[in-house]
Amino acid sequence: MKISIPENILSIKPYKPGKPLEELEREYGIAKSIKLASNENPLGPSPMAVKAMQEALGKLNRYPDGSGFDLIRKLSQHLKVPPKNIVLGNGSDDIIGMLTLALLRPGDEVVLPQPSFLMYDIMVRSAAAIPVTVPLSSLSIDLKGMQAEITSRTRMVFLCNPNNPTGTVIFKKDFENFMAGLSPEVVVVVDEAYFEFIRDQEKCASGIEYLDEDKPLVTLRTFSKAYGLAGLRIGYGIMPEKIAGLLNRVRQPFNTSSLAQIGAKAALDDKAFLKKTLEITHKGLDYLHAALDRLGIKYFPTQTNFFLIDVEKDADEIFESMLRHGVIVRSMKSYGYPQYIRINVGLAEENARFIEALEKII
Ligand SMILES: *Cc1c(COP(=O)(O)O)cnc(C)c1O
């Protein structure tokens, strides 16, 4: 083929998702394997969401409400934010894509923490903009280091709070200092995919509290993690009306499906499911940490449903050995941590199986 391929596209490393269970079972001929690799909700989807979607199946011949009126109104009540400040996405990944498409010109710089969520780098490069990465400091986002990289060419900054893959948070005071020192021309995107899991909520700032029509601040949330709807693909952004208007120019008219809108709306009412999710997450973390302490294996504290473990061996090899025990974890080698793995909390029996397998391997 003789097509000319843009350099920015060639520079993208394709996203490697966590290994699906079905793939592992096919390749290794094992049954009853468990996946602790993609920070998914081990309880399954919110039952109220499932019920609402089942009842709506008969209307799938119709296009969705492209404006997402009902879900946006529900979110508006839930978050105490006007509907005009909310944009829905086919997962929060979709909002990241809309932001980079609508707001970046080729050659613009975007400051990113590293390691962090890989979609920022992919979307920035897709827009022919230039990622400027700032290493974490003690696994936390280095706000001062990021500030130091901001120049007249910087158009956007991504923060991930809590940060994936390290589980660390940005504290309120540090966030406020960062925002105060920032040029009003730089768009700040705060990705809060795991905000619901934070145990020290009062010390942590949500971008939503700082929503201001005059400040280019965008906060991202998702139904993929705490609400157990990763397969449904629905997330949202909270932003000034002006930025929402720009996103609505590039947004595909039916970017969120009718089932996704209906499921997400019902999930917001499913308080019991969210409560149960937080309970098993926090209990599971306590169990896993105690078990790792007993085994003398080092791990890092977290404010999310996942955390890093220092296996003191090649993480890719540990990943492979765990697969043979039917447990999927995530190697952090490609993230720059050659001896760390990341796992998320599973059901009690899954957590126990992980510990059992790790004990055998290490
Ligand atoms: C899982 C995750 C998301 C969620 O993406 P969706 O597209 O909403 O499923 C966003 N940001 C981070 C950091 C994540 O880990």
Residue with CA at minimum distance from ligand 1 atom 15: 164
Q: Domain 47-269 class? A: alpha beta
**In the structure, what pLDDT confidence band is assigned to residue 28 with cuts at 50, 70 and 90?**
confident
Count of beta carbons in the 10 Å neighbourhood of residue 15: 11
Domain locations in the chain?
7-44+272-361, 47-269
Q: How many CA atoms lie within 13 A of 4 on its CB side?
A: 1
pLDDT tens digit string along 232-275?
999 999 999 999 999 999 999 999 999 999 999 999 999 999 99
79 C-alpha to center of ligand 1: Å? 19
- How far apart are the C-alpha atoms of 93 and 118, rounded to whole Å? 10
- How far apart are the C-alpha atoms of 315 and 308, rounded to whole Å? 11
Rounded to the nearest integer, the mean pLDDT of the chain is 96
Q: What is the pLDDT of residue 242?
A: 98
Residues 6+ positions from 99 with CB-CB distance below 8 Å? 123, 156, 187, 189, 218, 237, 243, 247
pLDDT tens digit string along 36-86?
999 999 999 999 999 999 999 999 999 999 999 999 999 999 999 999 999
Question: 358 and 295 in contact (C-beta within 8 Å)?
Answer: yes
Alpha helices in 66-196 (DSSP H): 69-79, 92-103, 118-126, 143-148, 172-180
Residue 326, pLDDT > 90, answer yes
Determine whether the shortest distance from the Cβ of 299 to ligand 1 is under 6 A. no
- How far apart are the C-alpha atoms of 26 and 54, rounded to whole Å? 30
CA angle 275, 226, 355 (to 5 degrees): 90
Residues 6+ positions from 104 with CB-CB distance below 8 Å? 110, 124, 127, 128, 129, 155, 156
Whole-model pTM?
0.96
235 C-alpha to center of ligand 1: Å? 8
Residue 114, pLDDT > 90, answer yes
Q: What is the pLDDT of residue 293?
A: 98
pLDDT tens digit string along 266-301?
999 999 999 999 999 999 999 999 999 999 999 999
Q: What is the pLDDT of residue 146?
A: 98
To test the ligand 1 pocket, which listed residue (38, 88, 90, 119) has its Cβ within 8 A of the most ligand atoms? 119
Residue with CA at minimum distance from ligand 1 atom 14: 193
What percent of the chain lies above the pLDDT cut of 70? Answer: 100
Beta bridge partners of 159: 190
Question: 223 and 232 in contact (C-beta within 8 Å)?
Answer: yes
Q: What is the pLDDT of residue 200?
A: 85
Please state, in angstroms and as integers, the Cα–Cα distance from residue 227 to each residue in 201, 223, 253, 357, following that order.
18, 5, 25, 28
**In the structure, what pLDDT confidence band is assigned to residue 206 with cuts at 50, 70 and 90?**
very high
CATH of domain 7-44+272-361: 3.90.1150.10
193 C-alpha to center of ligand 1: Å? 5
Token pair in block for residue 306: 């996942």
